[in-house]
Structure 1
Amino acid sequence: MEKISNVIMRPLERSIYLKPYTMHFTQNGQEKSWDLLGVHDSVAIIIYNITRNVLVLVKQFRPAVYLGSINIEDRKLDCPIDIVKYPPENGITIELCAGIVDKTLSLAEIAKEEVLEECGYDVPLNALQFINQYRSGVGTSASIQTAFYCEVTDDMKVSHGGGTNDELIETVEMSVDEIRKYVTQKGVVVNSPPSFLFGIYWFLLNKCSKL
């Protein structure tokens, strides 16, 4: 996964996932503008394996996270990024199983598909517990993410997962103690998105004491 090379920054090219906009508006008599991105809504699933008492998470390389680790003066367009100075593992994140809403299916059906594709568990629809919906990236996109929770067993594991052909995703398992330590790290940036932290704290608050 960390075998990343030939990293080059270029201006935005044609994208099927991102639609850039600039919104112009007047607020309290002052003319303003704000750059925005139109993106797909998404689902995220907290998965707990009750056979071995571990949370099932995913690990993947996120270019945006990698970019965030690079000093601004080294982000020159059409110039190779120094991967010795900036190791690609800086862009590796731990996240909840998740995926975009790009099909004419219910949110639960999309969540079920993502659990199977990314983590290899075939879960029944009625095993997916709706948690909440919230805005993601309020400064740029404000897309809606829908969070679910499900419990799985080893018997539900039907494949290694890993995502679709154009993805490179690894499954990560963490005990409750391990996840507590991970989300309470001090002095380091937790390489996980806010939705991950929301999901983990929801699990610790609502499920951990009942398992």
Structure 2
Amino acid sequence: MNKISEVVIKPFEKSEYMKPYTMHFTQNGRKRTWDLLRVHDCVAIILNNITRNKLVFVKQFRPAVFFGSIPEEDRELNTEVNLEKYSPDIGITLELCAGIVDKNKSVAEIAKEEILEECGYDVPLASLEKVGSFRSGVGTSASLQTVFYCEVTDDMKVSEGGGIGDEIIDVVEMNVDEVKKYVSQANVKSPPSFMFALYWFLYNKV
């Protein structure tokens, strides 16, 4: 996963995943502007393997986290990043099984697909318990993220997971004590939705 090479940051061109906009508006009589990003909504799933009392997560390299971890003075465009100075490991995060909402399906159906693709469990739709939905990235994108809770067993495991296409995903398991220790760190390399979901789990399911 950390075998990253030839990293070059280039100016934004065109993307099927995000579109930049600028909103012009008047607030309390004052004209203002705000830069926005239109991105896909997404789903995330708290997976609990009740056969072995383990929570199931995914680990992957996130280019945005890697880029954000490099000091501004070293973010030179069109110049290869010094990977001896900035290890790709700084861009590897621990997250919930998740995916974008880009199909004409319900969020529960997409969650079921992501569980199979990323973690290898084939779960019935009825096993997905909706935790809630919230807006993430409220300063830029405000995409809607829906979180589910799902209990799985070893019998539901039909593949190793790891994602599809060019995805490179490691499946990681932790028991409750390990989760508590992880979220108690001063610097957690996971997104806010991960923290929200785990605190919900620890409060409601433990």
Q: Deviation per CA, 1:93-139: give whole Å up to 9, x if none.
A: 00000000011111111100000000000000000001100001101
Alignment correspondent of 1:129: 129
1:170-189 alignment to 2 at 5 Å?
Answer: 170-186=170-186, 189=187
When the two structures are superposed, what TM-score results if normalisation uses the length of structure 1? 0.96
Alignment correspondent of 1:205: 203
5+ residue gaps, structure 2, are none
Two-structure CA RMSD over aligned residues (Å): 0.7
When the two structures are superposed, what TM-score results if normalisation uses the length of structure 2? 0.99
Report deviation, 1:165: 1.1
Alignment correspondent of 1:3: 3
Q: Deviation per CA, 1:15-38: give whole Å up to 9, x if none.
A: 000000011111112221111100
5+ residue gaps, structure 1, are none
Alignment correspondent of 1:80: 80
Q: Which amino acid aligns with 2:184?
A: T
Counterparts of 1:28 and 1:6, CA distance in 2: 49
Aligned residues: 206
Counterparts of 1:8 and 1:25, CA distance in 2: 36
Alignment pair present for 1:196 and 2:194: yes
Alignment correspondent of 2:59: 59
Match of 1:205, SS state, is helix
Q: Deviation per CA, 1:77-97: give whole Å up to 9, x if none.
A: 101111111100000000000
Alignment correspondent of 2:115: 115
Counterparts of 1:163 and 1:137, CA distance in 2: 24
Alignment correspondent of 1:24: 24
Report deviation, 1:61: 0.3
Counterparts of 1:140 and 1:65, CA distance in 2: 16
Match of 1:110, SS state, is helix
Q: Which amino acid aligns with 1:200?
A: L
Q: Deviation per CA, 1:149-172: give whole Å up to 9, x if none.
A: 000001100000011112111100
Counterparts of 2:22 and 2:61, CA distance in 1: 29
Report deviation, 1:63: 0.4
Calculate percent identity across the aligned residue pairs. 67
Q: Which amino acid aligns with 1:198?
A: F
